[in-house]
Amino acid sequence: MSPFMAMLRRELRLALRGGGDVLILVLFFMIVGAIVPFAVGPDQTLLASIAPGIIWIATFLAMLLGLERLFRPDHEDGSLILLRQAELPLSAVIAAKLIVHWLVSAVPLLLASPILALLLAIDVPAFGRTLVSLALGTPALAAFSAIGAAVTVPIRHGGLIAPILIAPLSVPVLIFGVSAITSPQSGAATLFLAALSVMAVALTPFVAAFAIGSAED
Amino acid sequence: MSNDTTSRQSWWQRIAHPGQFVAWTTPLLMPLAILTAVLFVVGLWFAFFNSPEDYQMGDTVRIMYVHVPNAWLSQFVYAVITVSALGTLVWRHPLADVSMKAAVPLGALFTALALFTGALWGRPTWGTFWEWDGRMTSTLVLLFIYLGIIALWRAFDDQLRAARVVAVFTLVGAINIPIIKFSVDWWSTLHQPASVFVPGGPRMPLSIQIPLFLMFFAFTFLFLVLHLKAMHTEIKRRRVMTLQRKLAQRATP
Amino acid sequence: MIDLGPHAVFIIWAYIGVLISVFDVIAWTLFDARATARQLATLEACNPRQRRPETAA
């Protein structure tokens, strides 16, 4: 088994061992989405018109919630130092972590989104576009989360700072993500979203590895 | 840092020594401060007494004389921080992180002022303090990035380590800012087919250009003076921290 | 003073806000510089005193 595959398996096993994490994330996503109607009122047409925004905000917040898991445990038990000295370059380690992070924190949200769509009165074609936009946009969110987590690993209470750092970076994801669902130019927005994700995912392993490396030495 | 070629050091290496840097740039401070003050006095005189009202904006054009320089500085300071971040990471220049740390709060202040004056200009012109238009929104996001950098820096205990990590984040921000700007512009034209007045548009009369340029240079020099002074303070603060650490070490055994 | 037209309030407040902030940041920079310089001076003054009893002992 190649080192990269071994890393993937290790991460996946660690992430799924505490299966509660995934469940809590999905629960949080659902609750954020479901609490909005109480705040804005039960008007079906209004809800349907802001539903893409609500779903994206819920996704964004849920993914912020899970970012601590990326590097914090490895930093605390010292395995991050071991991983830095491994044969596999740190950027490849982070790429594996990023893939697993996306699998365990974005895919469950995608699977749970039909229920939220039902509650928020989204019609079927719009829901199809919502799924596409979430699938294309969440890799970029995961990548930004990884950068935020990597930059704040050395800080003891970094969990509070990372969201502040990530939110401004995520503005384009939210813009193109919601536009891909609702706007008349949804085709262009979808392409921009995909481009953003490709770029973020391609660069993040190197940036995050560099951040971790420069914090340690 | 090579000490073997002391005779033919470049100025680049010579100012790498913090004490040397302070000694070299201290004589610059006073003339620069005076120049800034003169520019401000002349610029303000032109802005209030020697410039006409704009045919389109009326007297509110006078807000532009403080708004445009601040808006320019909000981006210029980020460029300064980005270059300093490169200096920290690539060349490991010892003054780069001092420069970065001194510039970030100034950048945040100028960005906040750009938003403040922009809002006060927007109220009479657009009829609202806040408009979700491309410029203002991306400036707001820039302010958030500045504040994030400050928060990140304050969270670290070890300053040298903080400098490198902040530098990485600053570079990530620098890559992202054009993308944010593009997306926000795209988004705002999508929602309201913009017919916003563009300051500094095709052709401004000379009587408006003169105070604008004067204030532009006044604010830029203000930043340079404050940045230099803050760098000196930061260098001294580091020496204070080193001395305190030495004292503590001597006290413990 | 010249006539600033119907929107004088906004113009004056814009300038007042900028002036206050600029003065504050200048004052803070000078205060910080003084305080740090004083701290450095006291530390450097007490540093050799601290060393002497050590070498004597």
The three-state secondary structure class of B54 is strand
Residue C55: per-residue pLDDT = 44
By CA distance, what is A185's nearest residue in B?
B190
Nearest to B109 among C25, C43, C50 (CB): C25
By CA distance, what is B44's nearest residue in C?
C15
User: What is the residue whose two structure tokens read 């920079």?
Assistant: C29
Q: What are phi and psi of A67, to 5 degrees?
A: -75, -20
CA-based nearest residue to A198, from A152, A123, A153, A142: A142
Contacts with B146 from chain A: Cβ below 8 Å: none
Distance of CA B38 to CAs B32, B33, B34, B65, B217, Å?
10, 9, 6, 16, 11
Contact A66, A102 (CB under 8 A): no
Residue B203: per-residue pLDDT = 59
Nearest to B161 among A154, A157, A168 (CB): A154
CA B209 to chain centre: 22
CB contact under 8 A, A192 and B183: yes
Residue B7 lies in a domain: no
State how far the Cα of A115 lies from the Cα of B136, in Å rounded to an integer.
37
User: What is the residue whose two structure tokens read 């829901």?
Assistant: A127
Give pLDDT tens digits for A191-202. 999 999 999 999
CB contact under 8 A, C7 and B116: no
Length of chain B as a residue count: 253
User: What is the residue whose two structure tokens read 């995912």?
Assistant: A201
Contacts with B161 from chain A: Cβ below 8 Å: 154, 215
Residue A23: per-residue pLDDT = 87
Instruction: Indicate the number of domains in chain B.
Output: 1
By CA distance, what is B176's nearest residue in A?
A169
CA-based nearest residue to A140, from B47, B180, B213, B113: B180
CA-based nearest residue to B103, from B84, B116, B122: B84
Complex ipTM value? 0.89
Spell out the residues 6+ positions from residue A46 whose beta carbon is closer than 8 angstroms to its own.
A40
Contact A62, A29 (CB under 8 A): yes
State how far the Cα of B145 lies from the Cα of A131, in Å rounded to an integer.
30
Residue B185 lies in a domain: yes
Q: What are phi and psi of A133, to 5 degrees?
A: -70, -35
Residue B49 lies in a domain: yes
- Average pLDDT estimate for C12-18: 91
CB contact under 8 A, A179 and B168: no
Give pLDDT tens digits for A130-179. 999 999 999 999 999 999 999 998 887 766 889 999 999 999 999 999 98
Give pLDDT tens digits for B135-161. 888 899 999 999 999 999 988 888 778
Average pLDDT, chain B: 84
Residue B12 lies in a domain: no
Element (H, E) at C51: helix C8-56
Contact C29, B226 (CB under 8 A): yes
Domain that holds residue B215: 28-193+206-251
CA-based nearest residue to A130, from A142, A116, A143: A116
Contact A153, A215 (CB under 8 A): yes
Residue B47: per-residue pLDDT = 83
CA B52 to chain centre: 30
Give pLDDT tens digits for A77-100. 888 888 888 888 889 999 999 999
The three-state secondary structure class of A79 is helix
Give pLDDT tens digits for B204-231. 677 778 888 899 999 999 999 999 999 9
B156 touches chain A (CB under 8 A): yes
Residue B18 has pLDDT above 70, yes or no: yes
Residue C52: per-residue pLDDT = 45
Nearest to C47 among B53, B66, B243 (CB): B243
Confidence band of C2 (pLDDT split at 50, 70, 90)? low
Residue B52 lies in a domain: yes
Q: What are phi and psi of B58, to 5 degrees?
A: 70, -145
Residue B1 lies in a domain: no
- Average pLDDT estimate for B177-193: 79
Average pLDDT, chain C: 79
Contacts with B250 from chain C: Cβ below 8 Å: 50-51, 54
Residue B124: per-residue pLDDT = 82
Q: What are phi and psi of A166, to 5 degrees?
A: -80, -35
Residue B9 lies in a domain: no
User: What is the residue whose two structure tokens read 């600033």?
Assistant: C4
Residue B246 lies in a domain: yes
B151 touches chain A (CB under 8 A): yes
